[in-house]
Amino acid sequence: MIHSKTKNQSIKVTVIHSHIGGKSFWKDLNKNWKKYGETKIKLSVKFIKKEITLKELQKQNPDIIVCSDTAGSPSSFSASEVIALETFLKNSGCKHLLGTYALFQHLEQRTNGYDNRKICHLFGINPSMKFGTINLEQSISYCPINPGKSILWNNIELPYVSDGYCHSQVPFSLSWFNDEGKFIGGKDVTVLARNEQGTAVIVYYSTKTYSAVYISTMPEFNTLQTKVDSQFIYNFFVYTSSKKATYKTGVISIPTTALSIYPRACFKEKEIKKSYHKK
């Protein structure tokens, strides 16, 4: 897709059907965005608590729509809301979507689970898959697949060690990758980063009219004692809204048993620095 934002333009963000645990994070980022980069960005973070309609989305006209741990919040998208969201993304042009953690499905400790797989296709994820959640280690280490000079990793020490909620949404196979290291969640997405075990991923999906990023963990569920997650989400806003952020869609897979030189070194470095990042 073609991006249209320039450095001096503002970026409007709307948060919909999201977990209350991220509210402080969004408010803090809204207030203190200047701490995370030179790009002049103003975040207009608004929460839509009622039913989402095309009219309301057009009224707010956000550049980025955030769906934070929707099924875990817990809430579900109605069929009409999915249509409204998809119509807005496809007809408005240069819009972006961010989803996190238990966005697609959440069954934990509930007789009636919350199923949002009807929006999987908006992220390039296979809607026929079944999902659960798992507990991860105290800190989640994301190693970029191909970091280069991407603004997504500006001011972040790699591997990116998230201090957010230490759980991840996973397919029922308990990994986002098969034994050959191929991403199993969808054929038209790019894996931007993953943890060593393949249980946490950050993936990118792009169409002619909008782009979407899905983070299988919840960086916004954060104590705000460290700022690495705020920095990453800020970078994401810049990444998706910059012309230079265009990323060719296509699956990049790395076998679990044969990680490329960079990720292997990345994870090894994580072990050395683990005590530094520990809460």
Considering the entire predicted model, what is its pTM? 0.83
- 272, part of any domain: yes
CATH of the domain at 193: 3.40.50.880
- 3, part of any domain: no
Q: How many domains does the chain have?
A: 1
Residue ranges of the chain with pLDDT lower than 70? 1-9, 18-22, 39-41, 43-45, 71-73, 108-113, 243-279
Question: What is the per-residue pLDDT for 147?
Answer: 81
Instruction: Give, for 203, the enclosing helix (H) or strand (E).
Output: strand 201-206
Cβ atoms within 10 Å, residue 14: 19
- 176, part of any domain: yes
Question: What is the per-residue pLDDT for 70?
Answer: 72
- 5, part of any domain: no
What is the domain extent for residue 192? Answer: 11-277
- 2, part of any domain: no
Question: What is the per-residue pLDDT for 240?
Answer: 86
- Is 118 buried (19+), middle (13-18) or exposed (0-12) by CB count in 10 A? middle
- 155, part of any domain: yes
**For residue 160, how far is the Cα from the chain centroid?**
14
Strand partners, 213: 98, 204
- 203, part of any domain: yes
Per DSSP, the three-state class of 119 is helix
Q: In sequence order, which residues have a C-beta less than 8 Å from that of residue 118 and are 6 or more positions away?
A: 77, 79, 82, 127
Question: What is the per-residue pLDDT for 221?
Answer: 81
- 4, part of any domain: no
Question: What is the per-residue pLDDT for 263?
Answer: 53
